Amino acid sequence: MAIEILGLIGGIAKPILSKGAAIAWENRNYLGLFLKTKYGTYKNQNIRFSISGIIKIKIPNTNKYLLVLNRRIENQLQPVGGVYKRFGDDSLFNKWEYKPDNSKNGLDVDDKSSSDLRFMVSGKYSTDVLNWFESGQERENSPVREFREELIDTNILSPNTFGHIDYKHIRRFSKNLVWSEFFSCYEILIFDVFELIPTSAQKEALIELSKHENDLSKGYAIVSCDDIEQQRLMIGNKQVARIGQHTKLLINKTF
């Protein structure tokens, strides 16, 4: 009888354990985060996501970089690029108790930022979002749109020279469950870092651009590695702009 009971318990436990192992395997890349958000403190908290792609544009033969002004944060320089966009309907995101950014919990949404991957979900769905992102489905996978909007459409670079660009993916950097004083919530931040691979003509154009004195009214600046480390751009003895923390990713540092 005892043997039969043990066999029955084993029969019930086996599929449960198998399911648990399958869930653990599916979330193996985020196991610590999975446990914290599925069963721990963060389960029912709103977690804000910001998922971006940025482009390293280095001036050839120098240790200087092309940055642009952030259109939402006044007087801040940062890498070309920004949050990815998602495609498709809202059904999957609604399942995760999705909340778009707004003026109270984020940077609000306008025509240009609609469908940006900048949003909140209930903590228990955090790893579901990450697994979806890793799949690459129904979302942008390249920085080309932002490059065009921030450099071509603004006349910083010529469409004749930069109408087509080549680039490579360098790294992916993430920060999980960091407290944001600005947004008053926990965040998961992801950055894909790409690097422009310029043609000969594009190299010449970037070198020529770097010869002009920085004038922020034009929407961009050429900054040094030291400027990025200090997170500020100085002209003379005056700070003229902040440099976003995430710009450090361009020089292989973290923040």
Q: Given pLDDT bands bounded at 50, 70 and 90, which one contains residue 60?
A: very high
Each residue's pLDDT tens digit, 103-140: 654 455 555 667 899 999 999 999 999 999 999 999 99
Strand partners, 174: 190
Phi and psi angles of residue 3, each rounded to the nearest 5 degrees, phi first = -65, -40
Q: Are residues 146 and 211 in the same domain?
A: yes
Beta strands 185-197; 46-56: pairing state: parallel
Q: What is the mean pLDDT of residues 137-158?
A: 96
Sign of CA dihedral 8, 13, 14, 15: positive
Q: Are residues 129 and 153 in the same domain?
A: yes
Strand partners, 51: 190
**pLDDT above 80 for 12:** no
Number of domains in the chain: 2
Report percent pLDDT > 90 for the chain: 74
Which is more confidently placed, 122 or 22?
122
Q: Are residues 109 and 228 in the same domain?
A: yes
Which is more confidently placed, 113 or 206?
206
pLDDT at 244: 97
- Domain containing 32 equals 1-40
Q: What is the mean pLDDT of residues 89-95?
A: 87
- Return d(Cα 232, Cα 217) in angstroms, integer: 17
**pLDDT above 70 for 185:** yes
Q: Are residues 26 and 51 in the same domain?
A: no
Asked if residue 57 lies in contact with residue 66, where contact means CB atoms within 8 angstroms, the answer is yes
Strand partners, 195: 56, 168
Q: Are residues 21 and 78 in the same domain?
A: no
- Return d(Cα 193, Cα 65) in angstroms, integer: 14
Amino acid symbol at 231: Q
- Return d(Cα 176, Cα 171) in angstroms, integer: 16
Give, in order, the Cα–Cα distances in Å from 66 to each of 3, 6, 85, 179, 207. 72, 68, 23, 29, 11
Q: Are residues 32 and 105 in the same domain?
A: no
Weakest mean pLDDT among 51-55, 109-113, 151-155:
109-113
What pTM did the predictor assign?
0.84
Each residue's pLDDT tens digit, 208-230: 999 999 999 999 999 999 999 99
Q: Are residues 57 and 158 in the same domain?
A: yes
Q: Are residues 36 and 50 in the same domain?
A: no
* Average pLDDT of the chain, as a whole number: 88
Q: Are residues 13 and 128 in the same domain?
A: no
* Residue whose pair of structure tokens reads 């976003």 in the numeric block: 244
Give, in order, the Cα–Cα distances in Å from 182 to each of 97, 105, 106, 179, 186. 22, 9, 8, 9, 10
